[in-house]
Amino acid sequence: MSRSSSQRASQVLQGQKRRRRQWLTFLRMVRYGINNFSRNAWLTIAATAVMTITLLIFFATMAAQNVLRDSVDEISNKVDMSIYLKSGTTETDAKTAISQLQQVDNVKSVRFISSDQARADYAEESKGDATALEALNEANNKFSAVLRVSLTDINKTDPLDDFVNNNVALKKIVNPDKKASFSGDRREAIKQIAEWTVLAQRIGLIASGIFIAISSLIIFNTIRMAIFSRKEEIQMMKLIGANKSFIRGPFIVEAVVYGFIAAILATAIGYGMLVLVNNKLGGSGIVLQPTIDLVIGYIGFVLLGMICLGGLIGIISSLFATRRYLKI
């Protein structure tokens, strides 16, 4: 029993020593990797700069998609479909149609505008336009009442078109001379922004892929040159019995440091660009503030994600370089 206890104690002690050696080995690899990072300043700067550009493009792609989506939502809230009713139709007359319209798929809200209100709105919009005011006086009481319909997705109009064409309650009060329509300029703007969103996403992903490849290639060559310049040192380490992971480790650490520094720089530059662009384009209909708030609110997660991406690029590049050029 005592011998068994002694053996267990010996195994525990050996396990502790082994873990301690592994930990010390890891710390040495990290230290050597950080030292290697500063050995060749120009290669280090080049690799870090390209990695920073790569991560910055990725950051800009994600931010641009979010900005365009918010801009589309903002404009969508201002776009509605107008269903023109007979002149003099009251809200009571349209109550049944309004109630049924509110149940239609994709309809967010319905607002009734009486003929008098439509006339007053036109008069307000036409201030200073003598021709429009003269036409208004001649039109007398012929303005149509209007149902203003806001949609959740303005590109999904089939359910609403079907309602306009087939609903019995609406047919009794709808103006047969004026077809229901979207606000043309706003709808075109929405379509263009939606197209830009898809285009920006594709361009951003392509650009990110290209720069990730370039960044990986530069880091690959940086690690390769470092291996060649330390060939004698590596041979010496082999002769004294250093294992593969200990020789390879510092190069991987070096590449991870590239990604770590580049991630911090890219996140800071990307945020600064968002703030700068917001100050200049804030009043042009491009909605940037929600994206800025999102980055600030989740800055820890954003930075962590960028660091992970930069580290992953560095690790993959260094592994390929060490596998190909480090004959161990």
Q: Is 13 inside any structural domain?
A: no
Q: Is 1 inside any structural domain?
A: no
Whole-angstrom Cα distance, residue 222 to residue 33? 13
Q: Are residues 89 and 132 in the same domain?
A: yes
Two structure tokens written together for 209: 């892929």
Mean pLDDT is lowest, of 29-38, 41-50, 52-61, 296-305, for 29-38
The boundaries of the domain holding residue 123 are 80-182
Tell me what pLDDT residue 137 has. 59
Q: Are residues 119 and 41 in the same domain?
A: no
Q: Are residues 202 and 287 in the same domain?
A: yes
Q: Give the chain's end-to-end CA distance (angstroms, integer).
A: 46
Whole-angstrom Cα distance, residue 35 to residue 49? 19
- Within 13 Å and on the Cβ side, how many CA atoms surround 94? 26
Q: Are residues 236 and 166 in the same domain?
A: no
Q: Are residues 216 and 289 in the same domain?
A: yes
Tell me what pLDDT residue 193 has. 62
- Taking the model in full, what pTM does it have? 0.66
Whole-angstrom Cα distance, residue 197 to residue 244? 48
Tens digits of per-residue pLDDT, 245-263?
777 777 778 778 888 888 9
Give the pLDDT band (50/70/90) at residue 36. Answer: low
- Contact call for residues 52 and 307 (beta carbons, < 8 A): no
294 by Cβ neighbours in 10 Å (0-12 / 13-18 / 19+) ranks as: middle
Give the pLDDT band (50/70/90) at residue 265. Answer: very high
Q: Are residues 198 and 57 in the same domain?
A: yes
Q: Is 55 inside any structural domain?
A: yes
Strands (E), the chain: 80-84, 107-113, 146-151, 181-182
Domains in the chain: how many in total?
A: 2
Q: What CATH number should be reported for the domain holding residue 175?
A: 3.30.70.3040
Q: Is 51 inside any structural domain?
A: yes
Tell me what pLDDT residue 87 has. 81
- Contact call for residues 29 and 242 (beta carbons, < 8 A): no
Q: Are residues 205 and 318 in the same domain?
A: yes
Rg of the chain in Å (alpha carbons): 33
Q: Is 153 inside any structural domain?
A: yes
Residue-by-residue DSSP string for 150-171: EESSTT--HHHHHHHHH-HHHH
- Contact call for residues 249 and 35 (beta carbons, < 8 A): no
Q: Are residues 135 and 228 in the same domain?
A: no
Tell me what pLDDT residue 171 has. 84
Tens digits of per-residue pLDDT, 95-106?
888 888 888 888
* End residue of a domain, out of 126, 151, 182: 182
